[in-house]
Amino acid sequence: MGESTVRTAFRLTFTDYHQDPNDSDVLRRAVTVQADRITFDDSHLNLWLAGTHVGEFPLDIIESVCPQGEPGRRRESPEELRARYPQMGHAWSTEDDARLLALYQQGERDFDTLGKQFGRKPGAIRSRLAKLGLESLA
């Protein structure tokens, strides 16, 4: 079996804040490591990129591991995102808050639908509802 040429990354979330592997002065709750392979041994998670060991983390500090990105898929530029979500990055008005609250109280829970109505990402809708005390981010 040959080496993988697909470049991806893994997002590791920790159970608590831990020292950043690349900067000893920084504590992090999560890190993203460029890697194309993941292995487990001796109670550690190991990450590899093109056959080179690029990270080792004790399993007892890891809350979750998620692959990031998809092969061949590129990230949207800020301009492309703003074209899809014209209100992205803009402050919420009191009128928008009132409209969002009314829709939520009427039973609308589809963040994609709400995002389209408000010109914002679905995650921004969920965050706003959490700030308004109506939706948990957990």
Number of domains in the chain: 2
The mean pLDDT of 51-71, rounded to a whole number, is 84
The mean pLDDT of 66-72, rounded to a whole number, is 67
- From 67-71, 94-98, 104-108, the region with the lowest mean pLDDT: 67-71
Query: Residue 81 pLDDT > 50, yes or no?
Result: yes
CB 46 within 8 A of CB 39: yes
Whether residue 41 sits in one domain with residue 85:
no
Q: Is residue 137 part of a domain?
A: no
Whether residue 106 sits in one domain with residue 88:
yes
Whether residue 57 sits in one domain with residue 21:
yes
| Of 60, 59, 63, 67, nearest in space to 35 by CA | 67
- From 5-9, 12-16, 19-23, 86-90, the region with the lowest mean pLDDT: 5-9
Q: Is residue 3 part of a domain?
A: no
Domain that holds residue 91: 78-131
The mean pLDDT of 19-26, rounded to a whole number, is 74
Longest dimension (CA), the chain: 59
Whether residue 55 sits in one domain with residue 92:
no
Q: Which of 19, 43, 68 represents a domain boundary (last residue)?
A: 68
Strands (E), the chain: 8-20, 23-35, 37-41, 44-49, 52-58, 62-68
- From 57-61, 62-66, 72-76, the region with the lowest mean pLDDT: 72-76
Other Cβ atoms within 10 Å of 126 Cβ, number: 17
The mean pLDDT of 88-112, rounded to a whole number, is 93
Q: Which of 68, 102, 117 represents a domain boundary (last residue)?
A: 68
Task: State the Cα–Cα distance between residues 75 and 1, nearest whole angstrom.
Answer: 30
Whether residue 87 sits in one domain with residue 51:
no
Whether residue 62 sits in one domain with residue 26:
yes
pLDDT of residue 74: 66
Query: Residue 41: what residue type?
Result: D
Whether residue 123 sits in one domain with residue 82:
yes
Q: Where are the alpha helices (DSSP H) in 26-93?
A: 78-84
Q: Which of 22, 49, 68 represents a domain boundary (last residue)?
A: 68
Higher local confidence (pLDDT), 43 or 23: 43
The mean pLDDT of 31-59, rounded to a whole number, is 90
Higher local confidence (pLDDT), 29 or 18: 29
Structure-block tokens of residue 114: 């709400």
Task: State the Cα–Cα distance between residues 130 and 104, nearest whole angstrom.
Answer: 12
Higher local confidence (pLDDT), 82 or 19: 82
